[in-house]
Amino acid sequence: MAPKPSPASSGSSKKTASTTKPSSSSSSQPEPGTTEAFTQELQALAAKAQSETWTKRAREQVAIYAKSLALLSLIAAFSTVSQLNLSPVYGAIPAAKWHAKLLMAACFVGWSSNLALNRALPFRPELLLPVVVLWTPVVQFFLAEVSGKLTATWGPLVTEGLTLFPVVTISAACVATTLEGADLSVLPGWLADAAPGLGSYGYFKTAEKVLGYLLERHVGKTLLNTRLGMEVVLGGLYAVLAPSKLLLLALPAMLHTAVLNTHVPTDMALAKLNTGLAEIGYTVLDRAESITGYISVVDSPKEGYRVLRCDHSLLGGEWVKFLDHPRFKGNQVAEPIYGVFTMLEAVRLVETAKRIRDNEAKALVIGLGIGTTPAALVAHGVDTTVVELDPVVHKFASKYFQLPSNHTAVIEDAVTYTTRQAADETAPRYDYIIHDVFTGGAEPIPLFTLEFLQNLHTLLKPNGVVAINYAGDFALPPPRIVVNTIRAVFPTCRMFREHPRDEKEFAATGVDFTNMVIFCTKQPSEGISFREPTARDMLNSPSREAFLPPQHEVLDSDLVESVGEAEGVLARNSTERLVKWHEQSAMGHWAVMRTVLPEGVWKAW
């Protein structure tokens, strides 16, 4: 029998076993650089590859592109909303002066500095986006207060430089950082390097065009898609995309927007707005946001007139203080504050080969305004059709001005309507056509093209007369271009302006902005003459007595030629001839409007 091991020897034996086990295990590991080690590494990589499945990689790639597209879509929408909020203060054309350049600069700065921005901030840059967007209405509100000092030249740049520029810059940086994780291995090397930048910019421009069209077409239909409402909604979407405690910094801005911002389309905000306007003698009776701009009805109780405003332009106005005056009690028409609108009624005074009787006449009016001319035509018994693009303009003209109900209203784009009617041989033809469209400091170009005027020519009866109101700066070439185009369609024309040029003001400013009415017929003749107006033509109206007979004739020599350009007409495919002058014309119009009504009315909108 073998002797039992002593405790000491037993413990020693266990210790030996325990220490030899690891050595046995370590001895099983292959030596580095051997075939066994290489095989083991391959097996480990294969196991890791199996764990990182195609589905997981796909989800990661989808998340990368979804975040990038979301950021690009938001700044595309914010770009349009920014312009919409500037147009009541500066007009659409001045608001766009720096817009495209600023967007491109912001995209470049953000894309090229994404690494620096990530290193400079102690948090992810996108967390700043909802804060900046929610502060935007506050910045716009206070900068509008100093818009007179900033002027239409620099005001839009300063405003978007403090609001739109940082949002686009940060967004571009975030997109650049996010797309670094995109798998572009299927593309050639040179294309893989360029694809993120080119693809992002291409998507942004497409989204800006599509979303811009949708936002502008549906603006004002609900509280959420008003100018201010859309900014708040975008701020909320950014907050969902990048939630953080930094949102606490936006609370003062949200409070100001909810309580103090008079641009919110609520009764409380309108009451607060009118409290401030009362100090300068004005009040806003109604307001709405629509497809052509911010529309409001503004009263001057002290002066006794009322105007219809669209963005930074006036569509017309009338004297309300005469409504209860004994002389005018029961008048069929109101007294307009602008004589040019009564000058348009002289279309009835043009001598024609066969006298046109009012009770047998049909008139087509392109552009409503407050309805001064249509109201007069209806008062004379003329069957009148009005084509107006903006339903809010027609609503306010009917509710707050003296537009009679017994007319035919067509709420449609005039180009579409006249094209359809001209092609339809059974559609009505007219004895009188009044073309009276203008907005934002420049003519709506599609309504002055050769093709549109040819449609009017088709719709005008052989014995008919057309009157075209053109508003512009006579110190610039556009009036001559427009007149050339009109004469290419209508062979016999005669032109009159509202007032003679103020030579002193023109010498000081270089601006000669005024309204001109061009009377034309379809038949070649020696010229146009007007019959003597009767008392009935005047409709018991001092404005018509003063302005109805055209007085201040415009000669060809009064129209400035385009230096270095051949004379020609404005065709649908050559509108750049007029577009290039719009900015200068709109800037001059902005300055004129700031003298027509007090600055406080414009900046408060």
Same domain flag for 359 and 234 = no
Same domain flag for 238 and 363 = no
Give the CA-trace dihedral at 249, 254, 260, 262, to 10 degrees. 130
Same domain flag for 393 and 493 = yes
Q: Which of 226, 259, 292 is the last residue of a domain?
A: 259
pLDDT at 52: 64
Report the distance separating Cα 194 and Cα 300, nearest Å. Answer: 59
Could you report the per-residue pLDDT of 402-445, keeping only the tens digit for each? Answer: 999 999 999 999 999 999 999 999 999 999 999 999 766 677 89
Q: Does residue 11 or residue 360 have the better pLDDT? A: 360
Structural domain contains residue 323: no
Q: Does residue 276 or residue 34 have the better pLDDT? A: 276
CA dist 545 → 498, 534, 537, 548 (Å):
14, 10, 9, 6
Report the distance separating Cα 457 and Cα 490, nearest Å. Answer: 7
Could you report the per-residue pLDDT of 591-600, keeping only the tens digit for each? Answer: 989 999 999 9
Note down the domain range covering 181: 54-259
Could you report the per-residue pLDDT of 331-340, keeping only the tens digit for each? Answer: 889 999 987 7
Work out the mean pLDDT of the chain and round it to a whole number: 90
Structural domain contains residue 580: yes
Lowest mean pLDDT among 100-109, 361-370, 471-480: 471-480
Same domain flag for 392 and 519 = yes
Structural domain contains residue 8: no
Structural domain contains residue 344: yes
Residue 518, domain CATH: 3.40.50.150
pLDDT at 4: 44
Same domain flag for 75 and 222 = yes
Report the distance separating Cα 599 and Cα 605, nearest Å. Answer: 10
Structural domain contains residue 12: no
Could you report the per-residue pLDDT of 52-111, keeping only the tens digit for each? Answer: 677 888 889 999 999 999 999 999 999 999 999 999 999 999 999 999 999 999 999 999
Instruction: Please report which confidence band the pLDDT of residue 12 belongs to, taking 50, 70 and 90 as the band edges.
Output: very low
pLDDT at 565: 58
Structural domain contains residue 295: no
Instruction: Please report which confidence band the pLDDT of residue 187 belongs to, taking 50, 70 and 90 as the band edges.
Output: confident
Tokens of 19: 């220490």
Q: Which of 224, 259, 294 is the last residue of a domain?
A: 259
Highest mean pLDDT among 317-326, 462-471, 474-483: 462-471
Structural domain contains residue 175: yes
How much is the average pLDDT of 538-542? 93
Domains held by the chain: number:
2
3-class SS of residue 337: coil
Three-state secondary structure string covering 198-221 = HHHHHHHHHHHHHHHHHHHHCCCC
Q: Which of 227, 259, 291 is the last residue of a domain?
A: 259
pLDDT at 51: 61
Tokens of 159: 């405003």
Structural domain contains residue 22: no
